[in-house]
Amino acid sequence: MFAKTFLTAAAILCCGSVWAQSTHPDNGNIVQHYPNGSKKLTASFKNGQPDGTWTRWHDNGNKSEELVYREGKIEGKGTMWYRNGSKRSEKYFENNVEHGTSRAWYPNGGKQQEIEMRHGEPVNIITWNANGNLTAEFHVTDGKRTGMSMAWHNNGNKRSERVYVEGVLVSEQSWDEQGNPIGGQNNDDE
């Protein structure tokens, strides 16, 4: 649920804010500028719908986001950048729905998360902390965790291993930051 909420919010941020801010032609391009004269937005329309590459910039001149529309729907790669110019996120769309591997990075360029999306639903999620250490990896089927779910402490030592079947926790093992076992359970009907 976290990943879906995050991705939905990012998509609205990335896509919805641009269109709502402008009046637009039925066919043609619009260009907006910041008060300092630098570009803010370039966008194009066909038959009253977004069509073509839409690009936004930060007021310092660095790109902020870029999306490609076809007949009003997002298609292909959508990219966002931090103010400093480093890549913030990359998502792939088919027919206005996220599909493919979405990635996000910290401002320093380190990986933050990788989410495999299938038809708008997350299926594999991997996250890292700002130091580059893996923090979590889990799988989702029909909106529920499934299979092995693992988490790590900030120092890189494993924190937990949990097994889920259709969203129900069936077993788990936990470790402290030094790697010592601290608990476990097995909920199988053996």
- Which residue segments constitute the domains of the chain, with CATH numbers given? 1-19+32-98 (2.20.110)
Element holding 32 (H helix, E strand)? strand 28-33
48 token code pair: 């009253």
Q: What number of other Cβ atoms are within 10 A of residue 167's Cβ?
A: 12
Which of 3 and 43 is assigned the larger pLDDT?
A: 43
Q: Where are the alpha helices (DSSP H) in the chain?
A: 2-11, 17-20
Residues 6+ apart with CB under 8 A from 121: 4, 140, 142, 143
Q: Contact 153/145 with Cβ under 8 angstroms?
A: no
Q: What is the pLDDT of residues 62-104, one digit of tens each?
A: 999 999 999 999 999 999 999 999 999 999 999 999 999 999 9
CA-based torsion, 32, 34, 37, 42: positive or negative: negative
**Nearest Cα to 105, choosing from 83, 86, 121, 133?**
86
Band of residue 187 on the pLDDT scale cut at 50, 70, 90: low
- Residue 115, amino acid: I
**Cα dist. 41→11, 19, 29, 63, 71 in Å?**
17, 10, 10, 10, 19
* pLDDT score of 5 more than 70: no
- What number is the average pLDDT over the span 121-145? 95
Supply the pLDDT for residue 13. 41
